[in-house]
Amino acid sequence: MLPTRILEKKRDGGRLSPDELAAFLRGYLEGGVAEYQMSAFLMAAFIRGLDSAELSVLLHETIESGARLRFAKDGPPAVDKHSTGGVGDKVSLVLAPLLAEAGLRVPMMSGRGLGHTGGTLDKLEAIPGFCVSVELDRFRAILREVGCAMIGQTKEIAPLDGRLYALRDVTGTVPSPALIAASIVSKKVAEGIGALVLDVKCGRGAFMTDREQARALARTMVDLAAAEGVRTSALLTAMDTPLGRTVGNALEVREAIDTLRGEGPADLREVTLALSAELHVSAGCAPHAEAAAAELGAILDSGTALERFVRLIEVQGGDPGVVDDPGRLPSAPVREPFRSPGSGWLDVHARKVGMASVELGAGRRRAEDAVDPRVGFEFHRTTGDEVAEGERLLTVHAADSASAATAGHRLADAIRLSPEPPAPQPLILERIA
């Protein structure tokens, strides 16, 4: 196998045979294919795409590059959820303990923030002491004890994906539907789950801004996972405006805790219950989504899912006191109001808010950048609200006055005012199964 021949063939739009692609991928793992050659392949795959046969090979090789979890068939059904990334998306922090409280097993392996979108691991690490780097044996023990566990990808699970993911982040190849699909599905299949729900974000704050593209990505992932024996559905959810009322890691943890208490913003609750209901039905615990959502909503309102989250925090080394005393979470020293520049109906642009949060330090420009858990935005009004000139729209939580001022300039471009109210848009756009 000559790597340059493989690269030339893919560059020119050719289809790689299963043997060719498998040899190239294995060569990368074994050191026979250099990092720069794999970077070239990722760019060629981004531009030329991968057909269904190539995608199947990529998925298979990624899964088989590491270990696969196995759960006893007589135990609780193992399920998981994945989001393609949004702004203010803290659904996983609510969904995992909620489904565990409902009697399911949730072995959740999550990622860090990418571009303008936030990451579940960064949010969890805003809880003092919370450890997301957990070996597989400990992961299994936490699952037995709590019913859910939330960790980062381990070196044992799909190590090929871990290496490719890091390269994609720095080579401009993140938004490739084929690469996204293989990355997500490989990790989920290796988790040993029996059911999966995909939250495919669509809109100006998502990686997939076009609904047709989002639908195609969802269909690809559903088909890939189903072919591996995982019952899978996908919800296309709107990501034009931030989800919930906070953007920034510690702030989003607070909002997730409020939601687990039966409070929290309506949009976050709606998306969480819709995704949770899909898994509840797939696991055979409810006859249909409406019944599942009602049952899960009652659990959320009871507060018992919050108690489950407290146990998870404690078992993974975090400070459970943050639940009753949010002041124990990291807090920014500077808080500046952002006021409405005029009167009208408010429209908040999710992607621009996400980029402003990165500028503030809540996200990363490069994989090696540190994240400041304290900083972010707390919205008091949101898209669809009628506001008056000078009214406080949000509070900027910043490390210093200079960064707060810079964020304010960024936010000015993210806020639009209209003389007419916007047409109402549904949060759940479509279901694909």
Which of 87-91, 159-163, 245-249, 268-272 shows the lowest per-residue confidence on average (mean pLDDT)? 159-163
Q: Which residues form the domain of 269?
A: 79-322
- The residues carrying an active-site annotation are 82, 161, 168, 183, 187
β-strands 231-238, 195-202 pairing:
parallel
Helix axes 136-146, 304-315, angle to 10 degrees: 150
Q: Which residues share a beta bridge with 247? A: 377
Confidence band for 367, pLDDT divided at 50, 70 and 90: low
Instruction: Please write the tens of the pLDDT for every residue from 249-299.
Output: 999 999 999 999 999 999 999 999 999 999 999 999 999 999 999 999 999
Q: Report the pLDDT value the prediction gives residue 115, as an integer from 0 to 100.
A: 65
Position with higher pLDDT, 174 vs 89 = 89
Q: What is the CATH number of the domain that holds 102?
A: 3.40.1030.10
Average pLDDT in the 122-132 region? 97
pLDDT in tens, 206-229: 988 899 999 999 999 999 999 999
Q: Is 430 contained in some domain?
A: no
**Taking a C-beta distance cutoff of 8 angstroms, is the pair 319, 325 a contact?**
no
Coil/strand/helix, residue 198:
strand
* Contact status, residue 224 vs residue 185, Cβ threshold 8 Å: yes
Number of folded domains that form the chain? 3
198: nearest Cα among 212, 179, 185: 185
Q: DSSP secondary-structure letter at 78?
A: B
Whether 273 and 378 map to the same domain: the answer is no
Classify burial at 322, counting beta carbons within 10 Å of its beta carbon; exposed 0-12, middle 13-18, buried 19 or more.
buried
Q: State how far the Cα of 191 lies from the Cα of 108, in Å rounded to an integer.
A: 8
Give me the amino acid identity at 380.
H
Tell me whether residue 70 is in a domain.
no
**pLDDT tens digit string along 394-415?**
999 999 999 999 999 999 999 9
State the pLDDT at residue 24.
Answer: 97
Residues 155, 285 within the same domain: yes
Q: pLDDT band at 112, cuts 50/70/90?
A: confident
- Do residues 123 and 192 both lie within one domain? yes
Sort strands 415-418 and 344-348 into parallel, antiparallel or unpaired. antiparallel
Residues 205 and 235 occupy one common structural domain: yes
Res 85 pLDDT > 90: no
User: Do 284 and 345 share a domain, yes or no?
Assistant: no
Write the pLDDT tens digit of every residue in 14-29. 999 999 999 999 999 9
Return all residues near 90 (Cβ < 8 A) that are at least 6 apart: 118, 120, 123, 243, 244, 246, 252, 253, 255, 256, 268
Taking alpha carbons only, the member of 281, 267, 417 closest to residue 340 is: 417
- Region 370-397: what's the mean pLDDT? 96
Distance CA 8, CA 20 (A): 12
User: Residue 365 pLDDT more than 80?
Assistant: no
Q: Which residues, listed in sequence order, are joined to residue 81 by a DSSP beta bridge?
A: 197
Confidence class of residue 111 from pLDDT cuts 50, 70 and 90?
A: confident
Shared domain for 353 and 303, answered yes or no, is no
**Residue 260: inside a domain, yes or no?**
yes
Gyration radius (Cα) of the chain, Å: 21
